[in-house]
Each structure stands twice: as C-alpha cells, then as structure tokens.
Structure 1
Amino acid sequence: MTGAAPADADISRAILEASSDALGLALLVCGRDDTIIYASASIQQFFPVPARMLVPGTRLRDFLGAVYDTGVRPGTVPEASRRRANRDDWIAEHMALHWRERYENIERAGRTRWLSLRKRRLSSGIGILAVSDVSEQKKRDEKLQTDLERVELTEAILDAQPNPICVKDRNLNYIAVNKAFCTIHDLTADAILGRSAWDLVDAELAERFEQSDRQVLETGRSHAEAEHIVRSDGSDLWVVTRKYRVGMPGRHFVVTCMSDVTDIAVWYHGTEETGAAAGLQIRDYDIFTPAQNFYDPFRALNVQQLVEAGSMIETLPARGLRVLLATADRQMEEHFVARLRGSGLDACAVRNAEELDAFARAAERRGLKLDILLVDASLAQTGGIASWQACPVLPVARDMDATALLTEIFRICADRRPEQAPLPQPDWGISFDDDGAAADNAPAVEVLVAEDNQINQFVFAQILEGLDVSHRIAADGREAVELWHELQPGLVLMDVSMPIMNGFEAAAAIREAEKRTGRRVPIVAVTAQALDIDLQQCRASGMDDHIMKPVSPDMIEAVLRKYLPARHMRDARLLNSASS
C-alpha cells in the first residue's frame, strides 16, 4: 500500500484537483490508516515540503514531520516568544487534531502569513484537510480593529476636552460631538448625531451657522467668531468659535471648536478707581454675537419650594427681612447667602467673631435692626453672640436643607412681628471702618422692567432680587413711561412686544421726554428674536442695546455691569471695606 490509495478511497483525482483550483484551496485527503490518499499540487504553496511527501501512500506522520522541518507550519508562535514546541509534541498534537470529527482555526504560519485550516473526519474514516490563505483578510481585520481602537481613543480625547467640539459632514449633519457640546444643549450624543442645526437651534441662528459652515466647506478658509451662549442651566458661556475644513477632496468635513473664554469675560478683580490690580477684562461685550439660548425658566423654577413655602412668601414682608450669616465655611456662605437673596431676603455674611463684633457696632451706629442671625456651629460658642439677643439666633449646619431654613426664618419672623408693615428696600451700606462711608447718590430704583408676561415678570423679579437690585415692574408700555417719570431709574429693561404701548413706542416716548431733562437713561430691549428688523427698530426708537429671551442671571448681571458702573463701584468699595 505504498503506491496506491486504499480500496475504500475511490476518489476521482481530476474532480478534486478542479475543485481545489476553483475554490482557491489546497486539499489533503487521508485514509483511516493515516496515509495520504490525495494531495493537491497547491499544497506546496502553503507547505514547501519535498514532492515525495505528497504521493499517495505517504504516512501522515511523515508529512507533518516534513512540515515541521520547513519552519513554516501552522501554530508557529511569534519570534519574540521563547516558547518552542519540540518536534514530537507538535506532530502528536496535529495527529490528534486530524482525528477530530470537525476542526476549524486560523493559525499563523511564519511572521506575516495566516492560514485557515478546516478538517473533517467522515464516518468512513477518511479525513479531509482544506487549507486557504487568509493573510489579506487578517490584515484587513487587524486594520479595522486598529481603526476602531483609534476612533475610540479619539472619542475619549474629544470627550476629555473642556471646550465644546462638533464635526459635520458635507450635508451639515452632526457626525461627531463631545460631552462638552452635549452639555450646553442638555442632550445626549444620540439625540444630536445625524441631525442638523435646524433641529437644535432657532431658524435664524441655524441659517447663520450653516452659512459660515458652507463658506468653510467651499473655500477651505477657517472661520472665527466671538459668541455668547446661554447653557441649558441658564449660565453664560462666552466662546470664540473656530471652524476648519478637514478631509480629502470630495469627503470634506467641518470641525467646530468653541474655545471657552468665560473666565476672561467675567473675571473682574479690582477697579481702576481704587488703584487695585485689575484683572484681564472685556469692556465691550458687543463683540459677542448672539448664539443659542438654551436656558428654560420653567425648568429652572423650584416647584417644590414654591409649594412648600409659597403661602409664607406671599404673606410675609420677605423683601424687608435682614438676615446675617456667621460662618467660617466659605461653601456654606456661598450656598446659603445666594439662596436667601434669591428668595427676596437681604442677606450677607461674616466669617469670624471679630467681623461679627464690627458688624454689630456699625449696625448700631447706622440705626439698622437685624431680623435674624444665622450662626454656624463653629461660631456658636463665641462670646460675640451675646450682643445679638435683641434678634432671634438660629443655628445652621452645612447639610441643612435651604427650603427648610427659609420656612423656619419666615415662621420666626412672622411670630415676632405679625402686624409690622413691609420694610422699604434695605441698604446694608455698612463699612467695618469706624469712620463710615457716605452712601452713593444712586437712584431710588435701579432697574425698571417693562414686561407683560407674568411668568417672565416672576423670572425677572427672582433674578434681580438674587442680585440685590432694587426694581419695579411695569405690565405695559404706558405704565413703563409713567413709572420712568416717577422713579427716574438707572436702567430700563424694555420688552418690545407689549399691549397698549409696545416697547418701541415706550422707548421713543422716554427719549422725547429726556430732551427736556438733559438726562439719558440706558434702555435695553428684551426680545424673543434678533431679526434685523427688530434691531433696526430698537436703534430707531432710541434703545441702547438688546438681549434675547429667555433671560438668565449671568445675562442680567452682564447688562448691569455694562450700564450701571456706579453700582458695581459701590459694591467693590463695600467688599473691600468688609475684607479689610
């Protein structure tokens, strides 16, 4: 049986050879006694063994030994590894694989070649081995895996960037966004990808965005623009937006990166008048063109707080309550003072017993009465607390719920003065310096708001009270003109769409009346849109500036900083005197 195939292996060699050529395979057929019945000529393309090892009747063990000796064998480990299987073990392992009913695997054969091995053992005992070269497919798979890993790494790097970044295709649909970009929209990446700016922002802004996008795509020139964005939580984001074209011809993309310059835009430390070292400032906010405003005042309202404390807020003179917080905890100070001011109380803080004593002397000298003193546990044992027995002292803790604290303050004050009329708008105006300081000749009402919508009136009131700004609200244009004559405010925030007399007519009436007084009050338009016709009407009616709805605390504070500099100089002097 050395030169002929077994009797039970009646196979047409011509058919096998044609089949292996057509399929691009190399075939090796063995009998039940582990001798070769048939070997296609293409076997030597994969295993460069001597031709005598492929003739029918050759033992399978001898064939495997010849394959091992060539050094090009399936299962060869990379050269970097020190592990080497000896010849007998390798032959025994592969003899066992040939007797499996079914075996499939992709194995390395040398440094750069990969082979697909498919082995079948028929019920008659005949074993068939099919070998094919899958090196190119393996390279493509490895390249695909490398590309996927590179994409994942790129996405991780983009998500780690603090600046919002997005990528658009030639149809100007979003194909990549990072976490910072999703955050300003308050949307997930899945809710943004595949959509366009028209699905996310107002129509006029989407048109402006796409105009610059297409210019970048067509010309390849980068685009830069300073923009003012209001995040979904109501906070301001001042950015310098830059757009670039990337990719190959016919497959260009637009990459947009928004460089956050908020710290530069809002960081104010010292003033030129006081001679303090002034930080980097932006004095002209007009360089920032209006971008999208994601702030929703309805979502920002604390409905549970209104339900729990609403009745007390309505019946108590909350805006006349003076509250002092004594704590050395800066985070507690920032949290509670901001919360108290946002609810209409007049609140400030001292940080140690010395400041508390100085505040008591200054208050007594000015004739000011405190409604309630909030004391942190760390200062509760100091001797300075005894001098405040004339007003209630309420202990507070860092983990205390702000709504519960407000409710307790209102309850205590209601019990103490149920018949007392609301106090006038308070003015702490206290310097810890014994000599005192003269109050500025500020207007009786700093801001006049003309707004007919009740929800927007509430939002304006909450923001201005939180900023400790005295204000009045007019429900229509005619009332706004009448209150301007009566109060002579320092700033007017004028809604352009109101009944009886709209904002344009009211602004024109105020400008006409100012011709007789020689005084000019800044008027800022409040508009739901920033169309060119609205801005032209604003300028024609005498308005100085405009902001877009919905408004946010940072937006209003920026307007106050720009048009009420006297107020901010006064605040700076009080802050400096308090810290000295």
Structure 2
Amino acid sequence: MNDVAITDLGIANMLLDVICDVLPSAILVYDRSDHLIYAGGQVQILASVPETLLVPGTRLRDILSAIFDGLDPNTLRSARSRRTVTKENWIAEQISSLWKERVEHFEKRGSDRWIQYLKRRLPNGYGVCIVRDASEQKNREEQWRIGTERIEIVEEVLDELPFPVCVKSAKLVYVAVNQAFCHFVGRSPKDIVGQMPSDLFEDAVAKRLEGAGRQIIKNGISVTSHELLAGPDGSEVGAVVRKFRVGKPGRYHVVTAMEPVSASAEEGHVGSLAVAVKPVSAQQGLALQEIEGKKVLVVTTDETAAAGASEALSRLGAETSIVSDAEELELFLSFAEDAGVAVDLILMDDELALSCAAAAKKHQVPVVAVDTTQIESDALNLVAEIFERSTTTRQPTPAPAPTDQMIDVLVAEDNPVNQIVFSQILEGFGYRYAIAANGVEAVRLWHDRSPRIVLMDVTLPEMNGFEACRRIRELKAGAVQTPIVGVLAHPFDRDRDECFASGMDDVILKPISPEMLEAVLLSQMHRREAGTA
C-alpha cells in the first residue's frame, strides 16, 4: 500500500514538474496542516525564500515569514493605507486566505514589480498556490488606464473649445468632433462620426473639403486660410481655418480647426508648429499677387532641395534666403530684425522643426514645416496655400479695355468631366472663360478671344498641348506673351520638361482644386499685367 502511495506521489510530482515547465510560475502544494508537499517552477519569484525551506514538510508559516522579511516596508505601508503592519498580523492574514476556497490578489514589490497569487483549497483539504510575476500585465493595465484618461481629457478639452474642431481619417471619414463643430453643422456627434464631407455639406463645399483633405494626407502640407463660414442658421462669420496632418504613415489623420477671427488675434498655429504670429484680420491677409517682393527663408540641410525651392519661389517674385540649421536661423533672424528687415515666411524641413521652433516663435515669423522633397518639388503650391488671400482678391483685376469677345481664361481640355470641373470653379470665381476640346480649337480661340491666361491639357486630340503652345508662341512672337499653364495628369519629369520646352510658364497637376487653380491664375495674371510674362 505504501509502495502504491509513493508511486502515486512520484507521478503527481512528475506531472507538476511538467506543468511548471510550461507555466512561467512557481507552484506550491500543501496539506490540511499547511505543510509543504511540493514546490517547483520558478521559485525565485518568491524573492528571498531560502531553498532549504522549499522542501516537503516545511510549514507554510515559515515560508511566509521568509517572504515578509524580503518585502519592502514602504510597499507594505502603501498597500495598507500607511498603517503599521506587523509581521504576525501579515502572516495571520496570509494563512487565513489559504483556507478560502478561491483567492486571487496582487502584491507590489519595489517601484515597478507586481506578484500575483492564485490560491485554491480543494474539497479534500489540500491546497495549491500559484505565484507568478505579473509586472508586464500590470504595466500594460497602467498604460491602458493612462491612455484612456488621456483620451478622456483630450475629449473634454476639445469640447470646451469655443470654436469647431474635427478630425478625419486618411479616407476622409470623420472620427472625432467637438461640441462646437456639432453645433456648427447642426448635427449630433453620432450623426457625424463615420460620415464624409459629402454626407454633411453641399456638393461644391464637400468637393473642396475632400480635395484639400486628400492633398494634406498625401503631401503633409499644413494650410492656414481666412474663410467666410456659414452656420446652419444662415449666419456668416469670418474665421481662420487651420488644417494639418497628424499621425504616422499608414495612420494619418487630418485635423481642422475653425477659429473666429476675433479669437485669433494674438497667437496660433501656422504650419505644423506652435508659433506666435502677428495679428491678421480677414482684410489684412497677403493676397497671392502680393507675394512678389515678400521674403521667404528656406531652412534645410539638403542643398538640392534648397536650390529647387529658391528657384520656384523666385518664379513667384519672392525674395529667398537659405540657412541650414537652428543656429544659422537665429543669427539670420536677429540680423534681419536689427536691420529692420521683416521675414514674411519660413519654409522649413520638418526634420529641423523641433530644433528651429524656438527661434521662429521668438521672432514671430509664420512657419510651415514640410518634408524635404516637398520643399523642392512643391514650393509654389506651398506658398500659394500659406499666404492668406484677402476677400478682395477673389475677383480678378479687370483687364484693360475689355471687349465682349475677350475672356479671362481659355481652358484646353477634351475630357467632359474635367470640363465641368473647370467650368464650376471658374464660374465660382467670376472669371469669363471658354473651353476648347482639342489643340486646333485652342489655338483658334486664343487668337479670337484674347484670353489673359491659357490652361493647356497636354494630351489633346488633333494637336496635343505641346504643339498648341508652340503654335501660340510662334503667332505672338516678340509681344507680351499670354501665360500658358500646362495641366498634367502625372508628375513625370519628362512631361514637365517638355511643357517648359514648348514655351509654357507653369505646370499644375490633376485633380484640380479651387485653391490650386486660383493660386496659379492670380500669379500668372499678375505677371502678365506687370509685363514680366
């Protein structure tokens, strides 16, 4: 009989050893008298318990006494509401818990270590205690708690802001809105979140919002503009609308904040940096045709990008200078301030944003931070987006001595859908325009209608855009030329090069947005009327 009992005990111990190898825990098994029967697994979790105690026959009281001696007194006090904990009281509490059918509790050791105890008393009086290191679990729970609290705080802060704020996903779906935005659109949060601009606004407004959102997600451009907003009750208010991208690649979001002009007089966000800016009212914004002569400072360590940005900005008539780091930026701005020279905008490589933010804020210069490649390839559009356009610049400046046949814009476009897009945008701006469906017709309409600017799609039938541009230049050789802007579907260098080689003055990419189109129209018309085209 004893041999059978011994054999059964050996098999049980063997099974427990296997379980201990699988579970990253220490396992203690004890009898009805609270004497140890088995101890195995990661017994080092039990801290300073000598191995001589972890043998069959040892009283659990002696093991608990050793555990208590290894505990941090500060931990014991914090766990017991700072009351004095004696050794005997602590051991008595632990022994009492061993006789409960099921007990689970955590015990903190040190500043960031947690031990979990799972105790079970079986119907036959035998008990099992599993001890494991739960530090990782508790740290995850703490991070989750802190993250949840942070989200709740951010939501409360957003709801307390007096102006509308919304966040859209990379697919332009609303994922967060504050109470002011809900009031602005006249809907509840549950009716907005999960929707797109086309679900909330009129088609023309929705297309503009979605077009701008896609550009911000794609390019990371931060846009600040003055707009006249209409609420659900029909009232209108001037506001500074700021749009910028947040998040990481693959998880970008667009944030839009609409601050009433009266509430934004002292300080705000320009680009993606928090910097102080000079007070700007809706009537004081820099019109795009006023960029000529403005001073733009390019900050980047990439010489190629700096040269490309400088060339592009010069084509707008802006004066540019280049610095490569925060120290040079501070020196430049200090010298400029001492000399009474105002810097109108800083175009900055986003990798230098953190180190250069302080200097920009100190000297109160508006900043936009962009990717290095953005500085080089899209400086024209960036400046067009950053410089505010006043409400008086929406209408084109009148052409001298117009006739009924003269038009402002000739659009050479064969795609019916794109023709509609151009028509809607140009009608909204109040321009007189005509549309040519092929290159031959474009040359004829240019000759007959004397447009102030030509938007030339390069893939036209009968005569492509390159040939049509060359033909127009031949017919108008020697005189002030009509600005011709190439419209490309793809940003291929060979197409851009051929546009300029054929005599075009600028290039824009499809899809066309109202902001993009207005920027190039105002810029090129101004150059033409100044006799520089």
Name the TM-score, length of structure 1 as normaliser: 0.44
Kindly name which structure, 1 or 2, has the bigger radius of gyration based on alpha carbons: 1
